[in-house]
Amino acid sequence: MTSRRVSRASGAARAAAEATPSLLHAVAELARVAGDVALGYFDRARRSELPVDYKADGSPVTAADRGAEAAAREWIERHFRLDGILGEELGSIRAGAHRRWVLDPIDGTKSFVRGVPMWGTLVAVAEGEAVLAGAIYCAAAGEMVAAAVGQGCWWNGVRCHVSSEDQLARATVLTTDDRFPHVTADAGASAHRVRAERERKIAGWRRVSERAAIARTWGDCYGYLLVATGRAEVMLDAVMAPWDTAALHPVITEAGGWFTDWEGVPTAFGGSSVATNAALGAKVRALLHAGEKGYLGGSK
């Protein structure tokens, strides 16, 4: 993951997004195109008939991932042929373009290949570091959330909002894997530093989860969809790639929530993610960093 870059989804980005309302429809349409391709492979996955390969980092990949991303790229070439594309499986093209599309054809491939329906397709469109619109399409679950800056967040076509719950003791908190197995430190860090960083993340999660009413590992993008639609209050992950986080930022913030990296920086490209409703945002981020020197608190 690249170094943390603070999102500049400011007045200029907001104006740009509001000037192009078609982007809200575009991200939803594109997510559906790619997600439906992936869904076409899902019965084979449920029957354990879909061959699985493994990438250098040990993560699984299938023909469904590649086919869904290829379909998404074909769609972009037809409708936005001057834009750049960054995808998890097929890399980057037109990297210097003013606008780029960020794609994760199957977020939750580990669930997908085991026939578990809690996976989704992520699509975002960005100008520089400002994400203008994003969508999460959980095809097997039949749920779509799409959002654009200044245009709100929409759940299966109906405006949606984060919950108003302000008591952590009544909240539902989520993460993908509460062992945080992939946490790393800076490049070249010692094994001791890597271990300490992982322990820091685990301790933060425990402080949050032990105070919550419900703690679950309804992970990957489905957890963020639950926060955006008010069915959970917190979803966090310690390690994220750009294609994991780009779509999440507008979905959560346009639903009225907070989206930051683990350190509390409001960015779509921070290498980690903490999504909350507004009422619990400051409290959750303070608990993640309780006792840490220099932590000044997260912001929306």
Asked which of 135, 159, 183 is the last residue of a domain, the reply is 159
Query: 18-31: per-residue pLDDT in tens?
Result: 435 599 999 999 99
Q: Is residue 198 part of a domain?
A: yes
> What is the tally of structural domains in the chain?
2
Q: Is residue 294 part of a domain?
A: no
Asked which of 106, 134, 159 is the last residue of a domain, the reply is 159
* Same domain as 231, residue 207: yes
Q: What is the pLDDT of residue 4?
A: 40
* Same domain as 98, residue 221: no
* Same domain as 272, residue 196: yes
Which domain range does residue 106 map to?
11-159
* Residue 216 confidence (pLDDT) above 70: yes
* Residue 9 confidence (pLDDT) above 60: no
Can you give the pTM of this predicted structure? 0.90
* Same domain as 177, residue 144: no
Q: Is residue 213 part of a domain?
A: yes
* Same domain as 15, residue 153: yes
Query: 31-44: per-residue pLDDT in tens?
Result: 999 999 999 999 99
Return all residues near 293 (Cβ < 8 A) that are at least 6 apart. Answer: none
Mean pLDDT of 201-229: 97
* Same domain as 120, residue 241: no
* Same domain as 172, residue 152: no
* Same domain as 147, residue 76: yes
Closest among 120, 168, 153 to 257, alpha carbons compared: 153
Query: 239-277: per-residue pLDDT in tens?
Result: 999 999 999 999 999 999 999 999 999 999 999 999 999
* Same domain as 53, residue 185: no
Q: Is residue 6 part of a domain?
A: no
Query: 139-158: per-residue pLDDT in tens?
Result: 999 999 999 999 999 999 99
